Chain A
């Protein structure tokens, strides 16, 4: 008997007579806040965990300022990033299968996101347009993420509903809530370990074209 058969047989024996009961889902699914409320909450929650949030009518300029302030001169982007978001005055490197070492040599990464969740201050990346592959937002030490106000949902169930199609299509998803952190030393939260140590969210109105 293969291990597979054996385990499935054990399960069959163990569960003889067991019935599957329905799941009560009385928890909150839809939020109640309007767009401004959601965005304000999102902002507070990202800041709570050490991320920086900027609101911008002219994303290109804001991003350029953000990068300049943080001394980032070479940044990586996904080859399909909307040109309107490209900052001037910095070297932009398209992530065309850069090696981990090449990614590590960048000063930061600039991406969009799939959606964001206000209640938890989370941004979700699913490899969609402008988001790049997972390594791009992981290896460089600074992540600048452009979030459309319309993409901010209130609750976790709303966020996951937004991501369901990607999951079904087999696309990898990363949920990011603040910069990397650890609580391993005396359970004191320290921001900045292996993942990007700095997270900057730029809130924009328009869909990048």
Chain B
């Protein structure tokens, strides 16, 4: 059930979800091919700019600077939007945001609301809230439409249906849209989506979008997209509601000159995405007659209050880290059981959801290979933050046998004598499990290792014993 924002569902630990996911060959093949395509494109367009690293420096710094000035920038943004005829709402949490959106949509007389792909509205479970209120949300982004028709959760920030290949999408459209003749040509599938949504766009009363950024000094809200569904929604609806995390605000107009270079190149590997919409409040005779901007906290201030974790709020949701991730490559996005999957999800979800919301296994769903940090356009130290989140889990949850072992190991390493004694002890204790220099029984925590790997036994002579012998000789 895609409406069940992961956090409201019972948390599922990553290792067990991943164990099932790695056996889904179809999904893994789809994800692998998609990753390969997008990685190559990103590398190519990033390499085109010889100032790419300078743009990343600026991107990181301008996001940090905006975050550190949030107290001033949000009221400034509010003022600019209000002065241009928009209405600004503040929402402490998901529930409050959903209430506001439902209230505004109802007042506008809508039965059907069009949606532009928005992670923030996925995060707050808006579709379910709309349905409970008797309103019908209609996803207009192709991949979101696929997920909505399939009743599945998105599995990727940017390409929510990355786990599905063209044939699966064709079958879904045949079944749900009644298009028996459809082939699996991507062009035809896109055409089917166009035909399906056209009428809805033309009669749109209320549309809901997220925002990629908002410029405080000008009151400009920015939505970046490809298909034109974003333009349709932000232009043709009578009433436009934008739900935006408070961290998305930037200070200056010229900050966009950085973000609009970093984002498309990192996200879809394009020099520029087909459409970027920029608007301030309402404009007489052009676009919606009413504009509502919902500024959402829902855990952002919690992340802001943690100085180590704060840079996670720099994230511009490009998903380059996900595309680079070797773990995601094997599992796809559903194994994370979160709205934000992959490396960014593993550091963002624990912050947004707070102490009890999500499985503590998420920050451990990484080999810390660092491929994510290498590509992050705003230079978030993702491995560093994963370690930070691990530390929070370790301190807050009981770690059982693992915790006891690691603390014991810490004490062993703290003294040379204890360490050397432990080496000798290991050699002795392993005897019953060892044959021909290999460990043959994998017990307890070693069972996982033994599932795919041999393990050499501790050899008769450690390095330090050899060194001592040699010294004596």
Contact = CB atoms under 8 A, between A and B. Distances in A.
Chains A and B touch each other in the complex, with CB atoms below 8 Å apart = yes
Interface of A: 2-4, 6-8, 10-15, 18-29, 45, 49, 97, 100-101, 104, 117, 119-122, 127, 133-135, 138-139, 156-157, 159-161, 163-164, 167-168, 170-188, 190, 192-196
Contacts of A29: 257
A192 B286 CA distance: 24
Contact of B37 (A6, A19, A28, A188): A188
A8 B297 CA distance: 10
B160 to A, nearest CB: 8
B272 A120 contact: yes
A163 B228 CA distance: 21
B287 interface: yes
Contacts of B356: none
A115 to B, nearest CB: 13
B66 to A, nearest CB: 9
B296 to A, nearest CB: 9
A204 to B, nearest CB: 23
A3 B91 CA distance: 6
Contacts of B281: 170
A122 B305 contact: no
B345 to A, nearest CB: 19
B61 A23 contact: yes
Contacts of A133: 285-287
Q: Do most interface residues of chain A lie in helix, strand or loop, or is the interface mixed?
A: loop
Nearest to B64: A21
Interface stretch (B14-22, B161-169, B368-376): B161-169
A104 to B, nearest CB: 6
Among the interface residues A122, A177, A184, which one has the most CB atoms of the partner chain B within 10 A? Answer: A184
B201 A100 contact: yes
A152 to B, nearest CB: 14
Interface in B386-437: none
A100 to B, nearest CB: 4
A133 to B, nearest CB: 4
Interface stretch (B50-58, B325-333, B452-460): B50-58
A24 to B, nearest CB: 5
B286 A127 contact: yes
Interface stretch (B70-78, B130-138, B174-182, B335-343): B70-78
A195 B68 contact: no
